[in-house]
Chain A
Amino acid sequence: MSGIREGHGTLEAQHLVKDFRLRDGVRFSTLHAVKDVSFSLAPGRTVALVGESGSGKSTIARMMAKLETPSSGRVLIDGMPSGDRGRALERYRRDVQMVFQDPFGSLNPFHTIRHHIERPLRIHHPGWSSSDVRSRANELLERVRLAPAGRFAERRPHELSGGQRQRVAIARALAPGARFIVADEPVSMLDVSIRLGVLNLLADLQREEHLGVLYITHDLATARHFSDEILVMFRGEIVERGPSDRVILDPQHEYTKTLLDAAADPDKLGMLRDDVRIGG
């Protein structure tokens, strides 16, 4: 397979810090969005990053995808510091790709699905002939279950459903031959009944292509089922980390417990009603 290269390296975040300067009139203040966060992604494993909005999850995603420069700390790939410009950045982008939350905003309404997949193939494989590019694009579309590829390739994004669009976004992320995928709330904008399908697709691809996935979400249940490790973020810090079942079933940190108590649980049927009746 042309898309996969040898190497069992890891993608590692080391002491990442991100501060934003906020302006309030003439005064400035500093928002510490991410405070000293370290973790590592291994091929074939999924790490979930959970927390509320504003906890710094997306800032981490953007730093991993090099859309944001860390205030301090660094990102290592295969044990080497990753590049921030030129060739090195190009190489990094080939290895690490992102799937965004909004499948309606992340595809260009002007271009066909084929264009979205072929463009990254051309950019990252300048040596390929047109027919190479075309057949690889078809192959990618079929990999994300948009088969037969011919039926979808010539359409434009508005002709596809949200779930199909998110599949295109996943195929696009795989196109450069990515080894690591950063998925920022990939299913939160999709209808509930198709969410699991998209997550399962990611899980299949991850296993088959030996991808390392950073799955960012606020949904603890899917974090538990789709990842090997969970990191819980609170106000820019990772307050708890561990194997996913352990974090969910035996939470240690107060904040993890608060998050778990806040998640809807049908097994607690009627308990909240009885609780407010007694407690007032």
Chain B
Amino acid sequence: MRADAVPVLTARGVSIEYDVDPPVRAVRNASLTLHRGEILGLAGESGCGKTTLAYGINRLLKAPALMTAGEVTFHDADGRDIDVVELRGDSLRRFRWDKVSMVFQGSMNSLNPVMSIRAQLHDVFTTHRPGMTRREREARCAELLGLVGVDPSRLSSFPHELSGGMRQRVMIAMALALDPQVMIMDEPTTALDVVVQRGIIREIMRLRERLGFAVIFITHDLPLLIEISDRIAIMLEGEIVEQGTAVEIYRAPRHDYTKRLLASFPSLRGDRGDFVRRGAVTTGGAA
């Protein structure tokens, strides 16, 4: 946490419903503040509404999902405030990806399988930066891949020719393309192996230090969040039940659900503590 925290995105009283029969209240009265350059962790189990909330913030909700209440404000670097809920058409297009980009869940599979990496990255620029020449685009694409640690020669590759980790890095490069001020990452590494996952998390942290974007990091992996986040919000059945700095959540959780979630992860190196494998006859396990 920095003392000079300036908000970049605020959500107030957001409620989102799935308009089915009976209606599902996926997000209830959720409020979040994201500060410039910080990592905000959003933790909760499947079905708790964390992805729906992220989609709401980024205006990606599709019917039958509907934001029924709440406001989302983006505080632009030039001092203007943008009311995200009111954006329509062109102004929405200018906002999305340019100010707030997203790395989707299972994004290893969200690249188009029949387009080369080059074509897909160029696409971002032809849409959002129509003034760029082909040469500029190509240079920027190569730069982006370099940034995320993928050899720029891979621009000509198709997604199936890349490993899962590389595909994920390409997705991050794409999210970085327009220098966004906020990046929403929805379970960006869950499908990856632990060692690869660690490499990518490190990359994200390094890029954030360099480029200064803020991150909303969504996952159910609370130990990981505690390790990397500045602040954490815990979601349960559509509600944010607790918010605090990573240290507070880890050392002094207040809500019962947070405690239960923390207790779901036995400590790797620490003392066995209050966690005892039931039915065990040997103590300490070191037979």
User: Which residues of A come within 8 Å of B, CB atoms?
Assistant: 52-53, 191-193, 195-196, 200, 203-204, 206-208, 218, 220-222, 224-229, 243-246, 248-249, 258-273, 276-277, 280
Q: Among the listed A220, A269, A272, which residue makes an inter-chain contact with B202, where contact means beta carbons less than 8 Å apart?
A: A272
Whether A277 contacts B209 by the Cβ 8 Å rule is yes
Q: How far is the CA of A196 from the CA of B226 in the complex (A)?
A: 20
Whether A245 contacts B278 by the Cβ 8 Å rule is no
- B247 touches A (CB below 8 Å): yes
Take A228-B285, A276-B209 as given contacts and tell me if A196 and B46 are in contact as well, using a CB distance cutoff of 8 Å: no
Q: Among the listed B46, B205, B279, which residue makes an inter-chain contact with A273, where contact means beta carbons less than 8 Å apart?
A: B205
Mask of B229-272 contacts with A, CB within 8 angstroms, 1/0: 00000000000000000110010000000001101111111101
CB neighbours (8 Å) of A206 from chain B are 279
Q: How far is the CA of A263 from the CA of B194 in the complex (A)?
A: 7
B253 to chain A, nearest CB (A): 11
Take A221-B267, A224-B268 as given contacts and tell me if A203 and B277 are in contact as well, using a CB distance cutoff of 8 Å: yes
Whether A52 contacts B280 by the Cβ 8 Å rule is no
CB neighbours (8 Å) of A191 from chain B are 45-46, 220
> Which of B45, B228, B270, B278 has the most chain A CB atoms inside 10 A of its CB?
B278
Whether A269 contacts B264 by the Cβ 8 Å rule is no
Whether A225 contacts B272 by the Cβ 8 Å rule is yes
Residue of B nearest to A206 (CB): B279
Take A221-B267, A228-B285, A246-B286 as given contacts and tell me if A193 and B45 are in contact as well, using a CB distance cutoff of 8 Å: yes
Whether B277 contacts A226 by the Cβ 8 Å rule is yes
CB neighbours (8 Å) of B247 from chain A are 269
CB neighbours (8 Å) of A221 from chain B are 265-268
Q: How far is the CA of A196 from the CA of B273 in the complex (A)?
A: 15
Q: How far is the CA of A26 from the CA of B79 in the complex (A)?
A: 62
Q: Among the listed B194, B205, B260, B269, which residue makes an inter-chain contact with A276, where contact means beta carbons less than 8 Å apart?
A: B205
Residue of A nearest to B224 (CB): A264
Q: Among the listed A53, A193, A208, A269, which residue makes an inter-chain contact with B260, where contact means beta carbons less than 8 Å apart?
A: A193
For chain B, the count of residues having a C-beta within 8 Å of the partner chain is: 45
Residue of A nearest to B199 (CB): A262
Q: Among the listed A52, A200, A266, which residue makes an inter-chain contact with B226, where contact means beta carbons less than 8 Å apart?
A: A266
Whether B226 contacts A269 by the Cβ 8 Å rule is yes
B216 to chain A, nearest CB (A): 16
A268 to chain B, nearest CB (A): 5
Take A52-B194, A243-B285 as given contacts and tell me if A203 and B268 are in contact as well, using a CB distance cutoff of 8 Å: no
Whether A276 contacts B195 by the Cβ 8 Å rule is no
Take A192-B45, A200-B277, A218-B193 as given contacts and tell me if A264 and B266 are in contact as well, using a CB distance cutoff of 8 Å: no
CB neighbours (8 Å) of A229 from chain B are 287
Whether B268 contacts A228 by the Cβ 8 Å rule is no
B157 to chain A, nearest CB (A): 17
9 A-B pairs whose Cβ atoms sit less than 8 Å apart in the complex: A192-B264, A196-B264, A221-B266, A243-B287, A245-B285, A263-B194, A264-B227, A266-B250, A276-B202
Residue of A nearest to B207 (CB): A276
CB neighbours (8 Å) of A228 from chain B are 282, 285, 287
- B129 touches A (CB below 8 Å): no
A265 to chain B, nearest CB (A): 6
- B89 touches A (CB below 8 Å): no
Whether B264 contacts A272 by the Cβ 8 Å rule is no
Known: A195-B264, A218-B193, A221-B267; 5 extra A-B contacts, CB below 8 A, are A52-B195, A208-B279, A226-B277, A267-B267, A272-B201
B192 to chain A, nearest CB (A): 9
- B281 touches A (CB below 8 Å): yes
Whether A244 contacts B269 by the Cβ 8 Å rule is no
Whether A204 contacts B279 by the Cβ 8 Å rule is yes
Q: How far is the CA of A228 from the CA of B279 in the complex (A)?
A: 13
Mask of B194-210 contacts with A, CB within 8 angstroms, 1/0: 11011001100110010
Whether B206 contacts A263 by the Cβ 8 Å rule is no
B250 to chain A, nearest CB (A): 5
Whether B268 contacts A196 by the Cβ 8 Å rule is no
Residue of B nearest to A55 (CB): B193
B82 to chain A, nearest CB (A): 29
Q: How far is the CA of A196 from the CA of B262 in the complex (A)?
A: 12
Whether A261 contacts B285 by the Cβ 8 Å rule is no
Q: How far is the CA of A32 from the CA of B270 in the complex (A)?
A: 36
Q: How far is the CA of A212 from the CA of B167 in the complex (A)?
A: 40
Residue of A nearest to B197 (CB): A262
Q: How far is the CA of A250 from the CA of B282 in the complex (A)?
A: 19
CB neighbours (8 Å) of A225 from chain B are 266, 272, 275, 277
Whether B223 contacts A265 by the Cβ 8 Å rule is yes
Q: Among the listed B221, B275, B285, which residue makes an inter-chain contact with A264, where contact means beta carbons less than 8 Å apart?
A: B221
CB neighbours (8 Å) of B201 from chain A are 272
- B284 touches A (CB below 8 Å): yes
Residue of B nearest to A280 (CB): B206
CB neighbours (8 Å) of B46 from chain A are 191
Whether A270 contacts B246 by the Cβ 8 Å rule is yes
Whether B264 contacts A193 by the Cβ 8 Å rule is yes
Take A53-B193, A192-B261, A276-B209 as given contacts and tell me if A269 and B246 are in contact as well, using a CB distance cutoff of 8 Å: yes
Whether B227 contacts A259 by the Cβ 8 Å rule is no
Residue of B nearest to A227 (CB): B285
Q: How far is the CA of A224 from the CA of B280 in the complex (A)?
A: 13
